[in-house]
Amino acid sequence: MAEMESAGKPSTAMKRALLFLNVILLSIGNCGGPLVMRLYFIHGGKRIWLSSWLETAAWPFIIIPITIGYFYRLRNQSSPTNFFLMKTPIFIASAVIGVLTGFDDYLYAYGMARLPVSTSSLIIAAQLAFTAAFAFLLVKQKFTCYSTNAIFLLSIGAGILALHTSSDRPANESSREYVFGFLMTVAAAAIYGLILPLVELTYKKAKQEISYALVLEIQMVMCLFATAVCTVGMLINNDFKVIGREAREFGLGETSYYVLMMGSALIWQCFFLGAIGVIFCGSSLLSAIIIAVLLPVTEILAVIFYQEKFQAEKGVSLALSLWGFASYFYGEVKHTKKEKQTPQTEMLPVSNP
């Protein structure tokens, strides 16, 4: 965890509980987010900036846990405490990462508008390779042969898809649009692959103690700035003006349109909070691995709910991904066992932030 952590350092049990909570949040967001976003496009939604805006627009909800945390500190802390703990350098870092997230959301939503969920999810698996590379450069992430193997297999899995995707193209779409969607999704994977280690770097370089309460504030600021970027995009693109008409014409009905919007915003909050929460409890690499681990679930849900095709190359890609996850977790278990005998090594999630 952050270098500055001292007296307020959470116990190992607390860190495990937080890790569990954040993995659950990440799972909800990672599996549900793409499905609800695609649902919007399948039933007549066309606005890409609006979709990207929804990824972070529910940031005001984070005030609720922040307030709970504040009253908890008031009751349990003898020294005075502020409602917001964040100091200027972390605010600036969070704002910059937030702006990057806003553009990343647009690229991601663009891909989601053009590609089946199963395809876009598999491309997003390449994010793991980007995260690994950036984590190595930015936070000096150490790798075991198992994690390296996992990254390799997951990347090959995504690569196989890249060679064989045109059969997957939705009927009403030109191959140009499809290829563009593909490239935008790869770009989204690369940028988010950078964002995760940047968050870890922010924790590491912080000149103040990083607590989970502060992680919530970072989440709020990041999402606020990402939403601001997407709001500008929506304004330029006249998205706000067409919402009413789009809702009336939406395939599932007007009420469903608004329910979908709200549900989508909340589910995506789970994704972003889960992702940076896992970094707090573990590392950016762990966060990326969990995102990739959840891939088969999203794949299967997309095939079930949207009757997407599940061709051979997706099957091969999926098998390689599963093999990659298995390799990573085997390495983790082995490493944990070894660590019990000789403490002080690097790759254990809860002990290596």
Ligand X SMILES: Nc1ncnc2[nH]cnc12
117 lies in the binding site for ligand X (CB under 6 A): no
Binding mask 4-33 for ligand X (x = CB under 6 A): -----------------------------x
**Which residue number places its CB atom closest to ligand X?**
192
Q: Compare residues 104 and 168 and give the one whose CB is closer to ligand X.
A: 104
DSSP 290-351: HHHHTHHHHHHHHHHHH-----HHHHHHHHHHHHHHHHHHHHHHHHHHHHHHS---S--GGG
Residue with tokens 């794949």: 299
347 lies in the binding site for ligand X (CB under 6 A): no
Only one of the segments 102-110, 239-247, 257-265, 293-301 lies at the binding site for ligand X (rule: CB under 6 A); that segment is 102-110
Question: Is the distance from CB of 109 to CB of 37 less than 8 angstroms?
Answer: yes
Task: State the Rg of the chain over Cα.
Answer: 20
Q: What is the dihedral of CA 8, 11, 14, 16, to 10 degrees?
A: 130
Both tokens of 306, joined, read 């949207």
User: What is the footprint of ligand X within residues 271-300 (CB under 6 A)?
Assistant: 271
Binding residue (CB under 6 A) for ligand X from 26, 47, 105, 285: 105
Report d(CA 187, CA 179) in Å as an integer.
12
Q: Compare residues 192 and 257 and give the one whose CB is closer to ligand X.
A: 192
Q: Compare residues 85 and 109 and give the one whose CB is closer to ligand X.
A: 109
What minimum distance in Å lies between the beta carbon of 81 and ligand X?
Answer: 33
User: What is the footprint of ligand X within residues 242-271 (CB under 6 A)?
Assistant: 271
Q: Compare residues 85 and 189 and give the one whose CB is closer to ligand X.
A: 189
Q: Compare residues 127 and 202 and give the one whose CB is closer to ligand X.
A: 127
189 lies in the binding site for ligand X (CB under 6 A): yes
Tell me how far apart the terminal alpha carbons of the chain are, to the nearest angstrom.
Answer: 4
154 lies in the binding site for ligand X (CB under 6 A): no
Total residues in contact with ligand X, by rule CB under 6 A: 11
What minimum distance in Å lies between the beta carbon of 7 and ligand X?
Answer: 35
What minimum distance in Å lies between the beta carbon of 124 and ligand X?
Answer: 5
Question: Pick from 285, 277, 266: which is nearest to 21 by CA?
Answer: 277
Binding residue (CB under 6 A) for ligand X from 55, 168, 200, 217: 55
188 lies in the binding site for ligand X (CB under 6 A): yes
Angle at CA of residue 238, ends 235 and 239, nearest 5°:
90
Q: Compare residues 274 and 324 and give the one whose CB is closer to ligand X.
A: 274
Helix (H, G, I), strand (E, B) or coil at 7: coil
Sign, CA torsion 1/88/95/31: positive
Q: Compare residues 55 and 246 and give the one whose CB is closer to ligand X.
A: 55
Report d(CA 42, CA 345) in Å as an integer.
48
Query: 87: how many CB neighbours lie within 10 A of its CB?
Result: 12
108 lies in the binding site for ligand X (CB under 6 A): yes
Question: Is the distance from CB of 102 to CB of 228 less than 8 angstroms?
Answer: yes
What minimum distance in Å lies between the beta carbon of 111 and ligand X?
Answer: 9
Binding site for ligand X (CB under 6 A): 33, 55, 104-105, 108, 124, 127, 188-189, 192, 271
